[in-house]
Amino acid sequence: MNNHHLQLGKYSFGIGDRFARQGEALLKAFIEADKKGLEITPVWNKSSREHLTIESDPRDTRIAADNAVKRLNWNRPWFVDADHINMSNVERFVESADFFTIDVADYIGKKASGQELDEFIGNNLHFQGIFVIPGIGDSFNLTKETLVSVGEKFLFAIKKASEIYSYIESKKGKGNFVTEISMDEVTLPQSPLELFFILSAIAAENIPVQTIAPKFSGSFNKGVDYRGDLDLFTREFEENLLVIDFAVKEFGLPENLKLSVHSGSDKFSVYPVMGKLIKKHDRGIHIKTAGTTWLEEVTGLAMAGGDGLGLASNIYLEALGRFDDLCAPYATVIDINKMRLPSETEVSEWDGHRFASALRHDPGNKDYNPDIRQLMHVAYKIAAEKGDVYTGMLGKYREIIGRQVTENIYDRHLSRIFDL
């Protein structure tokens, strides 16, 4: 295990690899960044839902990461993230993960006990009155009612996070893993004030949180660009950075605490905004991508032509026929216009280049189709059902697929955020 590296570096980047075949191709992007003098820590992440869909085991992710690290002589830190876990599924990840994303979204809005609420209010009552967060222009008029409403909304969720954290600590030992708390899969963004008092509650529970994933305005759908008001996102992102800075000093939270953005991948329009603001404030960042590695696999198969293209088309056509079944679990994070999905006849006439152009996220390409991309994003279940047929094809076209995977992470993600 990777235990001597349990401080998460300043910049870290979550990578998904659903079929655990692209470890080296992914790592090559970080090696490239390293050559440019920028150390970015790779974090392999795979959620319980993905493991259940593919019928894989969390240990597979660890083995694939370890192997890639060994083969490419990566001597920098790296992690394996138990992504979006809660008490019901943490057990499966305890052995193989050294990074835990504790997801409390389901607990937000449930009420803590009266005694717990009183304690929370007591801890924070001294902030009452005119309250200023350094760097944020507007001051807040903080009343006891504000604290009550924040406590009623978030305290129960933090108590749950504490329970899950304590369980992991009892199994792995203190300091042997990185903790993230995530509350991004909710409808409304947390305000700067709410985030500040959420961090106060986390500190009171003694959770050594290294990254926190709040919800931002706008839509973070899977595999496609950000949709929303960029100015509003910019303001929220900057205010969150300032809140974290202040909370670290105020509550003695870990010095390296940083924002985590669960991007759902490919949020190209917000990447430069984040890059600029973390430079301006000299803060770190953790970015979590989604399953775009699997989309690069399909792109590579299509480009290989012949049986590779045949398999890629076949997965798409099956996905068309199973649209509702595939999309249901992802309903909140996809938005597909069925009218824009090409028919079987149309796709059967495409060559590999045309198929790859429809799927690859290149808004400048007239053939790019975000609706196909989102449907294919959730169609990994079909590839999983094909078992050895699919993984065998990944082996056969390993090189062309690997190139797509490395270029995707390096050119479209790391380069855009860190201005490489």
| Cα-to-chain-centroid distance, residue 132 | 31
pLDDT tens for residues 37-58? Answer: 999 999 999 989 899 999 999 9
Q: Give the DSSP letter of residue 413.
A: I
* Whether residue 4 has pLDDT greater than 60: no
pLDDT for residue 101 = 97
Quote the CA–CA distance of 162 and 181 in Å, as a whole number: 10
Vertex 74: Cα angle to 71 and 78 (nearest 5)? 115
**Exposure string for 137-171, b = 16+ CB within 10 A, e = fewer:** eeebebeeebbeebbebbbbbbbbbbebbeebbee
In the chain, the percentage of residues whose pLDDT exceeds 90 is 91
pTM: 0.95
Cβ atoms of 77 and 113 within 8 Å: the answer is no
Cβ atoms of 386 and 54 within 8 Å: the answer is no
Torsion-angle region of 206 (φ positive above 0: left; ψ -120 to 50: alpha; else: beta): left
Domain(s) of CATH 3.20.20.70: residues in the chain: 3-108+157-291+412-418
Q: How are the residues of the chain apportioned to helix, strand and coil, as percentages rounded to the nearest 5?
A: 55, 10, 30
* Whether residue 27 has pLDDT greater than 80: yes
pLDDT tens for residues 180-232? Answer: 999 988 889 999 999 999 999 999 999 999 999 999 999 998 888 999 999 99
Distances (CA, A) of 59 to 62, 81, 91, 172, 228: 5, 11, 12, 15, 37
Counting DSSP H helices and E strands in the chain, the numbers are: 18, 10
> Shortest CA distance to 85 belongs to which of 112, 58, 55?
58
What homologous superfamily is domain 3-108+157-291+412-418 in, according to CATH? Aldolase class I (3.20.20.70)
CA-CA-CA-CA torsion sign (208, 13, 59, 318): positive
The count of other CB atoms within 10 Å of the CB of residue 334 is 21
Q: Following CA atoms 9, 205, 182, 180 in sequence, which dihedral angle do they give, to the nearest 10 degrees? A: 20
pLDDT for residue 289 = 84
Q: Give the DSSP letter of residue 366.
A: T
* Whether residue 159 has pLDDT greater than 60: yes
Integer distance in angstroms from the first to the last C-alpha of the chain? 31
Q: What is the DSSP string of 376-396?
A: HHHTHHHHHHTTHHHHHHHHH
